[in-house]
Amino acid sequence: MTGMTKHIGRHKGTGQRLSVVFMRLPEDKDHALVVYSDQLPDKYHDDFMTAIESPECQSANVLYEGLQRKVFWHGNPMLDTLHKEGFLKKVPTSAVVMQPTPQQQVALDDILAQMDKIESEAPTPVEGNVETNSGERVQEQVNQSLGEDNKAIAQNLLQQAVLLEKEAEKKREEAVKYDPSLTEKAMQPAKRGRGRPKGTTKEAIAAKNETTTTSESVSSEA
């Protein structure tokens, strides 16, 4: 999705712009940690916004992961400075609306609910006897690392999917507003494609080749 900036949103009640550093606190899952970017002093604001837009933070599933590798103009770690200076604010997740583009809004709670659903449907590893030699331990660590990477990718894709669904709903509502006769059509799920063109299936191609071979044989006998 072009032009999308992750981790940016607004407070549902006040409309204040904010950046979500922790989407959900481990010890308090109903609250998130945010930074009200407009309240930052100028000497911090520019560095902070540049960090958010950096590839490291945009590729991170949660903002704090990217901020851990960033520093402010004075060389101090960005995440530690935000904490010590009191710029990290605890707010209810229900009060946060993510806004990756000026036209798109999706509740943080909706994203978290989808993420919880994905995690609950993930298969549970089967426990058993595991050899403890060094080679298998290394392979186990590699598999775990790959699993974590895949999980982060899946969560990123999920967030984008939720945003796309919200945008699609908005477009349908706008279409019905301009032409109410489209109400029934707008409520119908998207149709699947027609599939492969006629005559391009394996069976059709095989039959065509057989016909061609037969014709050539008849011609040669004649």
Q: Is the pLDDT of residue 210 over 90?
A: no
Q: For residue 28, what are the β-bridge partners? A: 25
Quick one: pLDDT at residue 131?
43
User: What is the value of pTM for the model shown?
Assistant: 0.55
Give me the percent of the chain exceeding a pLDDT of 90.
41
What are residue 48's phi and psi, to 5 degrees? -65, -45
Helix (H) or strand (E) holding 61: none
Helical pair 134-178 and 108-121, crossing angle rounded to 10 deg: 140
Quick one: pLDDT at residue 155?
62
Quick one: pLDDT at residue 179?
77
Give which of 12, 16, 85 is closest to 44, Cα–Cα.
85
Pair 22, 62: CB distance under 8 Å = yes
Measured CA to CA, the distance from residue 40 to residue 14 in angstroms comes to 17
Pair 6, 86: CB distance under 8 Å = no
Mean pLDDT of the chain: 76
What are residue 37's phi and psi, to 5 degrees? -60, -35
Q: Is the pLDDT of residue 193 over 50?
A: no
Q: Is the pLDDT of residue 76 over 60?
A: yes
For the stretch 118-175, pLDDT in tens is 877 766 555 544 444 444 554 555 455 455 555 555 665 666 666 667 667 777 787 7
For the stretch 98-109, pLDDT in tens is 998 888 899 999
